[in-house]
Amino acid sequence: MRKGTLAVISGFSGVGKGTVVKELVKRYPYALSVSATTRDPRPGEADGISYHFITKEAFEERIREGDFFEWASYVDQYYGTPKSFVLEELEKGHDVILEIEAAGAMKVKSQLPEALLIYMLPPSMRELKRRLVGRGTETEEKIEKRLKKAKEEELEIAREYDFLIVNNDLETCISELHRIIQTRTGVSPGRSDLLTRLETEVLENGV
Ligand code: 5GP
């Protein structure tokens, strides 16, 4: 029997989930899974800490060997969660955090129905764009690609998650996330005014 909770956090690119998750695991004893990816490191990202940066060939070899709990392709790169880390930590009774995109989250849910899926929303689509541009790590083309994906797919898929959380204020978001994981209660997509507001914003203005 698994003892820990597997919490999956997803959200729009640029919503700030990386920062929230980093702070969460600093403050509370969560085990954070480090994914493997084929994308290039961004400035400040260290191998083995932010990600395990590996080649496409190495990634495909690990898929064949069944090393991933889940994996997905996202804007032309592979991302995957190492299976052994997740299973061992859960077995030890630790709560494990995965920060992954939606296709991977759905695979996790189908393998482990008791996993807790949490989707992080921006306060508005306009704010999301401001944060993505402000991060300054992506080219204009990559930002447009990520925003397009957010518009087209992510608002819809957020409805498949167990709970929603809004990243308006960092401190509030961290404690709310911790509370959701520990109590397994929160705002479900069907009861969220914010989700409906974001959908209206996209329909009326684009992003
Ligand atoms: P980024 O390139 O911005 O670090 O990540 C792009 C997207 O890939 C984000 O939505 C991030 O949550 C997701 N991601 C990171 N690691 C994994 C993983 O192991 N599996 C899946 N499915 N998605 C991941």
Tens digit of each residue's pLDDT (9 = 90 or more) over 30-45: 999 999 999 999 999 9
Helix (H) or strand (E) holding 170: helix 170-183
Q: State the pLDDT confidence band at 66, using cuts at 50, 70 and 90.
A: very high
Nearest-5° Cα angle at 135, 77 to 127: 105
User: Taking the complete model, does pTM exceed 0.85, yes or no?
Assistant: yes
Whether residue 35 contacts residue 171, with contact meaning beta carbons closer than 8 Å, is answered with no
At the top level of CATH, which class does the domain 1-30+95-207 belong to? Answer: alpha beta
Quote the CA–CA distance of 71 and 188 in Å, as a whole number. 25
Domain boundaries, the chain: 1-30+95-207, 34-94
**Which atom of ligand 1 is the closest one to the Cα of 13?**
10
- Candidate of 8, 9, 35, 86 to mutate for ligand 1, largest count of ligand atoms within 8 Å of Cβ: 35
Taking only the tens place, the pLDDT of each residue in 174-204 is 999 999 999 999 999 998 898 888 888 877 7
Mean pLDDT of 154-167: 92
> Which residues form ligand 1's pocket by a CB distance below 6 Å?
13, 35, 39, 70, 72, 74, 79-81, 99-101, 104
Whether residue 127 contacts residue 20, with contact meaning beta carbons closer than 8 Å, is answered with no
Selected from 3.40.50.700, 3.30.160.250, 3.30.63.10, 3.10.130.10, the CATH number assigned to the domain covering 34-94 reads 3.30.63.10
Judge whether residue 131 has pLDDT over 60: yes
Q: State the pLDDT confidence band at 2, using cuts at 50, 70 and 90.
A: low
